[in-house]
Amino acid sequence: MKKHTFTFMGTGAGCGVPAFFCECPACEEARSNPRAQRGDCGVMVTGEQRTLIDTPPDIRHYFNREGVRYIDNLIYTHWHFDHVGGLGELEYMVQLLTKQPIPTFASPYTLESIGREFEYMMYCLARCEWNPFEELELDGVKYTALPVTHAPGTYGYLIETEETRLFYASDTGKLPDETAERIRGVNILAMDATYWKENGFPQSHHSVQETIEEGLALDAGKIYLTHLCMHYSEPITLAELEEYCAQYDGRVAPAADGLSFEI
């Protein structure tokens, strides 16, 4: 049986924690406590190959932190800057090391948008359009592209091995009905929990409370809160968030940059 590891490369919303411009309690906590720091969202599945989901602006630092020298496959959730802005960091990997385009999978809309923004990088990517609800197998792992409620062409991914069903959706509001039914009963749910309490954009993001409520309703085994801003609306520190999650007896936890587990 192949062993695979799922790693949260980054777990923050667009401006990270601490945000350079912010002096709220959450950002001040992160300046003094590395555990509370968050870069932009991305994850990686590692087996015999490395499959990266999204290239956030911090990706070079993530690769150095995790000892990653190359990737084999690239998947995108969507085309916003905090999920694609680090793509340029892969150019010299292709030029100097792998010397071949990276198989790259995403919705047609996302691939078109990335092509416009990174035209000079397209020789580095072997782009493959991925339609809603289509399945793809990479390195013994099955990925299913599931539409979510965010920008046009945004997917969450049902990630399945022989042992684990995991759903990863870094950016989404309440899940569409068909997507929700596809992921019911997953072992692990890692989902957008951008806001604490008041949700400024319910059509495209979750609050912490909404993510927990939806995850429990879907009978998810373990719920990881990701895409955490910590300082939109009402700030919350990591210490306060962990105390809040303790009421769920280990079933709910904030994701953390660098957190890895076998799937």
Q: Is 1 a residue whose pLDDT tops 80?
A: no
**Three-state SS letters, the chain:** CCCCEEEEEECECCCCECCCCCCCHHHHHHHHCHHHCECECEEEEECCCEEEECCCCCHHHHHHHHCCCCCCEEECCCCCHHHHCCHHHHHHHHHHHHCCCEEEEECHHHHHHHHHHCHHHHHHEEEEECCCCCEEEECCEEEEEEECCCCCCCEEEEEECCCCEEEEECCCCCCCHHHHHHHCCCCEEEEECCECCCCCCCCCCCEHHHHHHHHHHCCCCEEEEECECCCCCCCCCHHHHHHHHHHHCCCEEECCCCCEEEC
The DSSP bridge pattern shows strands 73-75 and 50-53 to be: parallel
Q: What's residue 42's pLDDT?
A: 98
Interval 118-136: pLDDT, tens: 999 999 999 999 999 999 9
Total domains, the chain: 1
Is 263 inside a domain boundary? no
Is 261 inside a domain boundary? no
Is 119 inside a domain boundary? yes
Is 164 inside a domain boundary? yes
* pTM of the predicted model as reported, rounded to 2 decimal places: 0.96
Interval 69-93: pLDDT, tens: 999 999 999 999 999 999 999 999 9
Is 10 inside a domain boundary? yes
Q: In the structure, what pLDDT confidence band is assigned to residue 199 with cuts at 50, 70 and 90?
A: confident
Q: What's residue 88's pLDDT?
A: 96
Is 262 inside a domain boundary? no
Best CA proximity match to 154, nearest among 207, 93, 198, 204: 204
Q: What are phi and psi of 51, to 5 degrees?
A: -115, 115
Q: In the structure, what pLDDT confidence band is assigned to residue 233 with cuts at 50, 70 and 90?
A: confident
**Residue 108's domain spans which residues?**
5-256
Where residue 52 sits, what CATH number does that domain have? 3.60.15.10
Average pLDDT, the chain: 96
